[in-house]
Amino acid sequence: MTEVMLTDLTKNFPSGARPSVDRLNLTFTSGKIHALLGPSGCGKTTTMKMIAGILQPSAGEITFDGASVLRVRAERRGAVMVFQNHLLFPYMSVGDNVGFALKMRNESRVVIRARVEEMLELVKLPGLADRRPKQLSGGQQQRVALARALIVKPNVLLLDEPLSNLDAHLREDMRELILGIQRQLGITTVFVTHDQEEAVVMADQIALMFDGVLHQNAAPDQFYDCPASERVARFFGNINVLPGTYAGGLFTSARGAFHAPRAAITEGPGSLTIRPEAIRLGRASAETRAANQMDGYVLSHIYKGTHARYKIAAGDLVLEVVTAPEATQLHGDGDTVRLTLPPEKLWVMPRPA
Amino acid sequence: MTEVMLTDLTKNFPSGARPSVDRLNLTFTSGKIHALLGPSGCGKTTTMKMIAGILQPSAGEITFDGASVLRVRAERRGAVMVFQNHLLFPYMSVGDNVGFALKMRNESRVVIRARVEEMLELVKLPGLADRRPKQLSGGQQQRVALARALIVKPNVLLLDEPLSNLDAHLREDMRELILGIQRQLGITTVFVTHDQEEAVVMADQIALMFDGVLHQNAAPDQFYDCPASERVARFFGNINVLPGTYAGGLFTSARGAFHAPRAAITEGPGSLTIRPEAIRLGRASAETRAANQMDGYVLSHIYKGTHARYKIAAGDLVLEVVTAPEATQLHGDGDTVRLTLPPEKLWVMPRPA
Amino acid sequence: MQFERLKIWLMLAPALLVLFAVFIGGLGFGIARSLNYMPIIGLTQPNFDAYIGLFSLTEFWRSLGMTLYIALTSTAISMVLAIGAALLLRRAFPSKRLMTFLFSFNLPIPHIVGAIGIMFLFAQSGFMARIAHGFGWIERPMDFLVLVNDPYAIGIILEYVWKEVPFIGIVVLAVLQSIGDDYEAVSQTLGAGPLQRFRFVILPLITPATLSVSVLVLAFTFGEFLIPYLLGQTYPATLPVLAVRLFTDPDLNKRPEAMAMSILIAVIAALMVLAYMWLSRRIVRSD
Amino acid sequence: MTTAQFLTKPIASSRSGLTLMGLLRGAALVLLALWLVGPFIPMLVWSFAHRWTFPDLLPKQWSLEAWTYVADPAAQVLPAILDSLLIAVPVTLLSAAIAIPAGRALGLHRFRGKRIVEFLILAPNIIPGLTVALGIQIVFINYGLDNTIVGVILVHLVASMSYAVLVMAGVFSNYDPEAEEVARTLGANRFQTFLHVTFPAILPGLVVASLFAFLISWDQYVTTIIIAGGFVKTLSILVVAAAGGGERAITAALSIVFVGPAILFLIIASKYLTGENSSAGGLGRR
Amino acid sequence: HFAAAQTVDTDWPNMPWDQVLAEAKGQTVKFWHWGGDANWNKYFDNILGDAVKDSGVTIESVLIDDTAAAVNKVLAEMEAGQKTDGSVDMIWINGENFVTLQQAKLLFGPYTDKLPSFANMDPNSSALQFDFGHPIEGYESPQGSSQFTMSYNSALVAEPPTTVDGLLTWICENPGQFTYPALPTYTGREFVMEIMYRVTGGYEQWQGQWTDEKKALWDQKSPMLWDALNKIKPCLWREGATYPSDKAPMDDLFANGELAWTFSAGSGESAASVLSGLFPDTTVTMIFDDGTHASNHYVAIPVNSPHKAGALVVANAIMSCAVQLAKNQPSSVGDLPSIDIDRCPDEVKAGFAAINYGVGGISPAQLAAVPILPMGGPELAKAIEDGWRVNVLEK
Ligand SMILES: Nc1ncnc2c1ncn2[C@@H]1O[C@H](COP(=O)(O)OP(=O)(O)OP(=O)(O)O)[C@@H](O)[C@H]1O
Ligand SMILES: Nc1ncnc2c1ncn2[C@@H]1O[C@H](COP(=O)(O)OP(=O)(O)OP(=O)(O)O)[C@@H](O)[C@H]1O
Ligand SMILES: [Mg+2]
Ligand SMILES: [Mg+2]
């Protein structure tokens, strides 16, 4: 129920050459789940720490529901954070770790004990309350850290790779736990994950950063359908990018011209992109290519049971195409093929000069 | 070039109720890549630490190339480990961390500096040699830990979730780095990952543990095609398990009888399993069902672009079926469908009573 | 397991060796003497006369009270101030190096010198009194506050606090710096305010080291002779002053009593240290 | 603003330099500094004073008499410095060498009898030096160790080592030995592991422990005079003797000389006391 | 008596001085003495050290803060069977510590009659007979003598009293400016004894052996002393709630003007303190009209000293005219000679005559003008010490 807004947020570390976070403008909508994505070292943790209030921004503003929190101490902000490296209190039992936040609110011992048991149950660690953190496995520690944060009902929940050490099953359970609590209480949640798929599945909105700079902040499918730049497209696993120029709905490239009604620019140099699933693969024929078609030959392909994945060379470009598994009976490595790129699936992005 | 053999390896922690590792018998073949898989807390880290020599087994034997190493000190075993929680030396620079092992071998300073720069390059952290570990992001720390381990040419390489904090791209790069070094030098490599897919892609052999006990040790596809138990199948994401009894190649269940030539048992109670992709989906018809067919109705389905995933209810069972995406035009939620389970794709596992 | 235990004892061996080779033997002689066994002056029949004699002295009991009061008060004050100073000093600020150096500056100054310094400062004719005179607040030395050789042992406590605050503080500082900020940050996001961070994060982390050094302070302030001798009131004197007086008594027959007194000081200090450790551990752990 | 706020970490304090809290901190620091050096100021003045009576704030007459005396061979200052160093330095080294393993055992491990060992090690600090020194003297006479530097070193060692062990036990209780495991798997043998991993991690604590060990030996009076009075003379013997005589100027000058080498040690150690390498040590574990 | 000393196989009593000198050559004498006074330290090392240098003897000072340290050392060595190779060759000693060591048969002697410089002494001098009323019997040799004197700050005391009664009155008329060191310090006890002689009706009755009658007398008369002391107690510094722990702290108070009076068992000490800049130059030293105590200080040689010959040479040098003169200078220690000056060569006599006793000093003539009161025995001293604690301090 808290809207977190970052305005020109910047962090320079004394020893860092570049700002670790560079004029970040970003709004985390109240009650939604946001993913913070980006390659290692792009500034995700730094951003979160500034929101939590344990790192002082070098410049910029952070507001919660419109009010600046720069002068509000971390413990008053109501932003709970799960740290990437767990950071359990080593001198406390697991139970005391989980119950820490309640104790800080002077809850009664009985209440704390009951809630702790409940939380440990939820993170599938019942009965470990008396252990010391050191006596837990890596994944168990991570879940304790999660339980410690989830036990309170914060305004803002900041999760820094909270599930990175868990196997698929636990991961799914924990995701559901987080989602459940988030939905029930409408907590504004920001989480970092290195797993795009997780981000896509869990988040209402994804913010993608590179080198401290925000590149796109949008709903998950937007990153596939209309990535903001080639770099964004590639980060989301799409290598199908053609350089060219755009004008009047027509994209002209070394591989031919394409009708592309959807574009982030009106004209000028641009990059054309399309999802691998959207490209249709056909036999190359003597017929002249229709609009939005191009020829290439199969570099390699993999059969994946549920689908097939082709790498197609077209001039100096390599495109990826995903087809139904049956396609493998038609096209083998080295075959010349014709690709059809449906106009409504195309997207033109700006291209830096 | 070292074969690691564990015989009845057991570890009891004083405070643990159950053994954390329980009579483990496992061979890590020379020069291969092995994945150690299992849910959080199953004993993966404990096993690795015992192999590395920094944890004393409670019972059992560890041999390297047939010779017991129980009395060989860690630094003599030649087993290098990357720890789950990175554990960089905090008071050393990044460069000194990476060069540590070389320094221990009294390599010259010049050689160390060159190799360190090279390794940092390989883990995509050029120029960070002079930073302190605390000044790195989580993923950067993890890569430094990896570089520190890979700089030497160990006999055995033990990697405990070495990539858990990296995004897909870096992960792939790092995997290739590990594989490259492993192949080039033929190091016996054991790695832990929480990511099955990673295990399947990278490993020659996977060992799956539950609660300290080894459940299956086999090539990756075996876990899909002939899982050792229902639990194994489920861990690998397969929920298609039917209880019944097996005799003379015929599996009898509440859902009918199935020809199943492949089986881990000869007769008695068993569980039948099949991969979701192997089930063929058809329209239910008035015709009597042929052998290896059963009827059900569509509970739900998802279209995934490259394929479609159906949940089918058949009596009290729920089965998962993956089809080509086109199937969605034929079968909607609530439709009655007929499933065909090809005999050669079926697998009968023992069922504990 | 067996091997682990052996290793632990091996690590302790050098320390225990020194202890037994040098210390325990000497202690034995001391105990023998306290039992009135000292053949050189003709005492050959061990008995408890020396102890009984001490227990029947009112001065002994009053001294005991005084000694306990001084030791407990100075240890408590030193510990509190030391932790405060360490917290103050661990943050980066412009003159941090200088301040930390100043803070540790009196570590190497022996207690006796400290006592002289305290006397120079706080005696009725000391530096402070002179400043007071300069302001026209006092006329003669006797108008100034009684801070040295006073009935409440203020002078003694001042000296101990002056000397022991850096002693405890430097250890606390070292520990604080090795801990870093991370745990405090975590607790802060979990809603711990400044006091709570101190109580539930910093305190438990610094307790082991703080305890080990403040126990040393407690034992020291209980057993020290020179400082109460110089800065204390004549009566009641502290137990060590009493012991030394017996010890330097020209009458050799007082030696057993002197020894008995030292042994008693040791026993009482030991009990006090045990109680102190037990109590502080309880206080910090109990929650 | 509470005092605690003022003392604990101002993590998200404001960016501007001058705040109320900053001022309060500053004031507290200045007070602390004054309090710490306070007693030393009159001492310095006294060493140059010739008659300094109430109510003069500064002496009317300055003089170098005290320093002349200190320089006089009759004052025995130079041989005393040598003897003091000859004792304190080995005591410090030995204490450190003993305290590292013992502190580790006590700080990192739980074992049966630990409490007793802790207590035994604490004992030399509880039991007055006089009580044991006379007995030790008799033992030493039998071994021919009385009146020797070695004997004095051994006696000082008991007290110094006991301090050092306890400090190191505190240090090790915050130390994470897992880093050593990493080093071992990277091929470091025990010695290398100690040198490159353990040692730098415990160094600040070790420096503190050594400093204490040094100072304790440096300060010892009773035990020195009993074990080797007349053969080994240390600065502390001189200072105590002077202090008993009540000649302020000379006592002050001697005190300053006495403190000099120790301050030197402190300066060397201060690099570690100021926490420049604060990342040392594991994360506060127990 | 001589049993312990006979463990040394040398035939000391019959050894001629030449042989002593020969044996002493090259010896280093470990001289344990109070190290609290820079002037004394300089005297031992420079004046005395130079005096024995020609004999090939070196003095090594062992500075201690209490004679008991030396006593305990000898005791421990003997206890451990170190009967010939002790580490104490010579002790500055007197009074009870002497009695203690002598009674435990830990002193070497008798030796005083061997020393050639004893020719400088009046053979009938009490300094050779009794120490604290205890017979010396040749087991210690004098270093010098001292007489109890009072010093006051003339800036604070306009009309100094000249008798003990006068002093007692003055104390209560000027509260807070007088005190005395707590007993059992030497100086404190000396002061109390001065009072005791006056309030109990003279010193004569306390002379001689400590018999049962003496004890009875003490029980009868001592309350008079306690009354007198308790009467001045509220007028003392800090209203008598505490006492300086020794003479040095009392001197400190005097130096700083907190006290108007101090006193000393040695008449030259105040002058030395003025000279060294400790005492104000308004310090004046006086002596009671009806006299004060005088005592002597001595050196003794422990029975297990390995350098007895050297120690004898030192003891001898101490009593030489030149050393006694040098020591009497206010710029040195201002210690009164134990020798009979008339037996010295003329230039020494002239030297004595030429001494200027300086600011805060008191001349031999002034001292000679009043009687010398003898010291009481050790038992009396002990009775005073014990009684004072119970009847004055703890009251
Ligand atoms: N020191 C210890 N004392 C008691 N129990 C321990 C200790 N260390 C680990 N355990 C327990 O042993 C079991 C195995 O731990 P281990 O660290 O090997 O798990 P893991 O397979 O690596 O799990 P994860 O994937 O979560 O890291 C866990 O249940 C853990 O709680
Ligand atoms: N204390 C510091 N001093 C200097 N540079 C720092 C410091 N902390 C972080 N950095 C740098 O700032 C950048 C951003 O760090 P941050 O921890 O926010 O990355 P991240 O996005 O969380 O990465 P990861 O996914 O690897 O955890 C990194 O390049 C890192 O090296
Ligand atoms: Mg991060
Ligand atoms: Mg693990």
Residue of C118, C119, C142 for testing the chain E interface, max E β-carbons within 10 Å: C142
Band of residue B184 on the pLDDT scale cut at 50, 70, 90: confident
Beta bridge partners of A312: A298, A319
Average pLDDT, chain B: 87
Taking residues A213-236, report their average pLDDT: 89
- Sequence-distant (6+) residues with CB within 8 A of D115 are none
- Sequence-distant (6+) residues with CB within 8 A of B13 are A135, B20
Q: Are B144 and B169 in contact (CB under 8 A)?
A: no
- Residue B84 CA to ligand 4 center (angstroms) comes to 6
Q: Are B146 and B123 in contact (CB under 8 A)?
A: yes
pLDDT value, residue E1: 34
Q: CB–CB of C216 and D163 under 8 A?
A: yes
Instruction: Return the higher-pLDDT residue of E94 and A1.
Output: E94
Alpha-carbon span D132 to D118, nearest angstrom: 19
pLDDT value, residue E10: 63
Put simply, whether C236 touches D (Cβ < 8 Å) is: no
Tens-place pLDDT, residues A301-328: 887 767 788 899 988 888 889 887 777 7
Q: How many CB atoms lie within 10 A of CB D23?
A: 10
Tell how many helices (H) and how many strands (E) occur in chain E.
Answer: 16, 11
Band of residue D9 on the pLDDT scale cut at 50, 70, 90: very low
Alpha-carbon span C24 to C28, nearest angstrom: 6
Give me the residue from A75, A96, A158 closest to C193, CB to CB.
Answer: A75
Q: Is the pLDDT of residue A156 over 50?
A: yes
- Sequence-distant (6+) residues with CB within 8 A of B125 are B94, B140, B143, B144, B147
Question: Tokens 């006694």 identify what position?
Answer: E324
Stretches where chain E sits below pLDDT 70 are 1-11, 13
pLDDT value, residue D7: 43
Q: Is the pLDDT of residue A284 over 60?
A: yes
- Residue A149 CA to ligand 1 center (angstroms) comes to 22
pLDDT value, residue D10: 42
Put simply, whether C219 touches D (Cβ < 8 Å) is: yes
Taking residues C177-194, report their average pLDDT: 82
Q: What type of residue sits at position D215?
A: L
Nearest to E328 by CA among E348, E300, E299: E348
- Residue C71 CA to ligand 1 center (angstroms) comes to 47
Q: Helix C255-285 to helix C25-34 angle, to the nearest 10 degrees?
A: 120
Report the nearest-CA residue for atom 18 of ligand 1: B43
Q: Are A340 and A286 in contact (CB under 8 A)?
A: no
Q: CB–CB of A75 and C189 under 8 A?
A: yes
Would C168 be classed as within a structural domain?
yes
Collapsed DSSP state (helix, strand, coil) of residue E282: coil
Q: Are C196 and A76 in contact (CB under 8 A)?
A: no
3-class DSSP string for chain D:
CCHHHHHCCCCCCCCCCCCHHHHHHHHHHHHHHHHHHCCHHHHHHHHCEECCCCCCCCCCEECCHHHHHHHCHHHCHHHHHHHHHHHHHHHHHHHHHHHHHHHHHHHHCCCCCHHHHHHHHHHHHHCCHHHHHHHHHHHHHHHCCCCCHHHHHHHHHHHHHHHHHHHHHHHHCCCCCHHHHHHHHCCCCHHHHHHHHHHHHHHHHHHHHHHHHHHHHHHCCHHHHHHHCCCCCCHHHHHHHHHHHCCHHHHHHHHHHHHHHHHHHHHHHHHHHCCCCCCCCCCCCC
Taking residues B3-29, report their average pLDDT: 89
CA distances from E297 to E26, E127, E301 (A): 27, 9, 14
Q: How many CB atoms lie within 10 A of CB E130?
A: 15
Q: Which two tokens stand for residue B224?
A: 């899909």
Q: Taking a contact as any Cβ pair under 8 Å apart, which residues of chain E between 16 and 45 contact chain D? A: 30, 32, 34-38, 41-42, 44-45
State the distance between the two ends of chain E, measured CA to CA, in whole angstroms. 43
Alpha-carbon span C80 to E389, nearest angstrom: 38
CA distance B244 to chain A (A): 26
Contacts of E251 in chain D (CB under 8 A): 246
Alpha-carbon span A50 to E70, nearest angstrom: 70
Alpha-carbon span A232 to A124, nearest angstrom: 36
Q: Are B323 and B253 in contact (CB under 8 A)?
A: no
Report the nearest-CA residue for atom 26 of ligand 2: B139
CATH number (domain holding residue C187):
1.10.3720.10
Q: Which helix (H) or strand (E) holds B142?
A: helix B138-150
Beta bridge partners of C124: none
3-state helix vs strand vs coil in chain E, percent to 5: 45, 15, 40
Q: Is the pLDDT of residue D5 over 50?
A: no
Average pLDDT, chain D: 79
Q: What are phi and psi of B247, to 5 degrees?
A: -165, 135
> Which atom of ligand 1 has the smallest separation from the CA of A167?
25
Taking residues B35-58, report their average pLDDT: 91
- Residue A185 CA to ligand 3 center (angstroms) comes to 26
In which region does residue C37 sit, left (phi positive, over 0), alpha (psi from -120 to 50) or beta (all else)?
A: beta
Alpha-carbon span D40 to D42, nearest angstrom: 6
Q: CB–CB of D7 and C88 under 8 A?
A: yes
Alpha-carbon span B227 to B270, nearest angstrom: 12
pLDDT value, residue D18: 54
Q: Which two tokens stand for residue E71?
A: 């006593």
Would C7 be classed as within a structural domain?
no
ipTM attached to this prediction: 0.79
| CATH architecture type of domain B4-225 | 3-Layer(aba) Sandwich (3.40)
Task: State what percent of residues in chain A have pLDDT above 90.
Answer: 29
Tens-place pLDDT, residues D106-125: 888 888 888 888 888 888 88
Which letter does DSSP use for residue B208 in this model?
E
Report the nearest-CA residue for atom 18 of ligand 2: A43
Residues framing ligand 2 (Cβ under 6 A): A 13, 15-16, 20, 38, 40-46, 84; B 135-140, 165
Give me the residue from D182, D189, D201 closest to B91, CB to CB.
Answer: D201
Q: Is the pLDDT of residue D14 over 80?
A: no
CA of A24, nearest ligand number: 2
Tens-place pLDDT, residues B301-318: 887 767 788 899 888 888
Range of the domain at C161: 57-286
CATH topology of domain D65-282: MetI-like fold (1.10.3720)
pLDDT value, residue E7: 40
The CATH classification number of B231-350 equals 2.40.50.100
Beta bridge partners of A205: A34
Q: Do chains B and E touch (3 or more CB pairs under 8 A)?
A: no
Collapsed DSSP state (helix, strand, coil) of residue C274: helix
Contacts of D194 in chain B (CB under 8 A): none
pLDDT value, residue D274: 55
- Sequence-distant (6+) residues with CB within 8 A of C25 are D135, D136, D139
Q: How many CB atoms lie within 10 A of CB A328?
A: 17
Q: Which helix (H) or strand (E) holds B182?
A: helix B168-185
Nearest to C206 by CA among C76, C73, C84, C36: C84
pLDDT value, residue A86: 80
Domains in chain C, number: 1
Q: How are beta strands A241-247 and A213-218 bridged, if at all?
A: unpaired
Chain mean position to CA B85: 19
Which letter does DSSP use for residue E390 in this model?
I
Report the nearest-CA residue for atom 6 of ligand 1: A135
**Number of C-alpha atoms within 13 angstroms, CB side, residue C244?**
21
Task: State what percent of residues in chain D have pLDDT above 90.
Answer: 9
Residue of D109, D111, D178, D182 for testing the chain B interface, max B β-carbons within 10 Å: D182
In which region does residue E244 sit, left (phi positive, over 0), alpha (psi from -120 to 50) or beta (all else)?
A: beta
Q: Is the pLDDT of residue D21 over 80?
A: no
Tens-place pLDDT, residues B125-149: 998 899 888 889 888 998 999 999 9
Q: Is the pLDDT of residue C106 over 50?
A: yes
CA distance D26 to chain A (A): 21
pLDDT value, residue E161: 93
Q: How many CB atoms lie within 10 A of CB B118?
A: 13
> Which atom of ligand 1 has the smallest separation from the CA of A140?
26
Give yes or no for a cis peptide into C94 (omega within 30° of 0): no
Q: CB–CB of B168 and A237 under 8 A?
A: yes
pLDDT value, residue B217: 92
Give yes or no for a cis peptide into E160 (omega within 30° of 0): no
Alpha-carbon span A290 to A279, nearest angstrom: 14
pLDDT value, residue D16: 41
Pocket test of ligand 1: the residue of B11, B46, B48 to mutate, having most ligand atoms within 8 Å of its CB, is: B46
Q: Taking a contact as any Cβ pair under 8 Å apart, which residues of chain D between 205 and 234 contact chain C? A: 205, 208, 211-212, 215, 218-219
pLDDT value, residue B353: 67
Taking residues D60-68, report their average pLDDT: 86
Q: Which helix (H) or strand (E) holds C279?
A: helix C255-285
- Sequence-distant (6+) residues with CB within 8 A of C6 are none
Tens-place pLDDT, residues D242-252: 777 767 788 88
State the distance between the two ends of chain A, measured CA to CA, in whole angstroms. 42
Instruction: Return the higher-pLDDT residue of B219 and D4.
Output: B219
Put simply, whether D138 touches E (Cβ < 8 Å) is: yes
pLDDT value, residue C92: 65
- Sequence-distant (6+) residues with CB within 8 A of C76 are none
Instruction: State the DSSP string of B99-139.
Output: HHHHHHTT--HHHHHHHHHHHHHHTT-TT-TTS-GGGS-HH
Put simply, whether A72 touches D (Cβ < 8 Å) is: yes
Band of residue C24 on the pLDDT scale cut at 50, 70, 90: confident
Which range has the worst mean pLDDT, A21-35, C96-110, C152-166, E226-240?
C96-110
- Residue B16 CA to ligand 1 center (angstroms) comes to 9
What is the domain partition of chain A in residue ranges?
4-225, 231-350
CA of B94, nearest ligand number: 2
Q: Are E132 and E99 in contact (CB under 8 A)?
A: yes
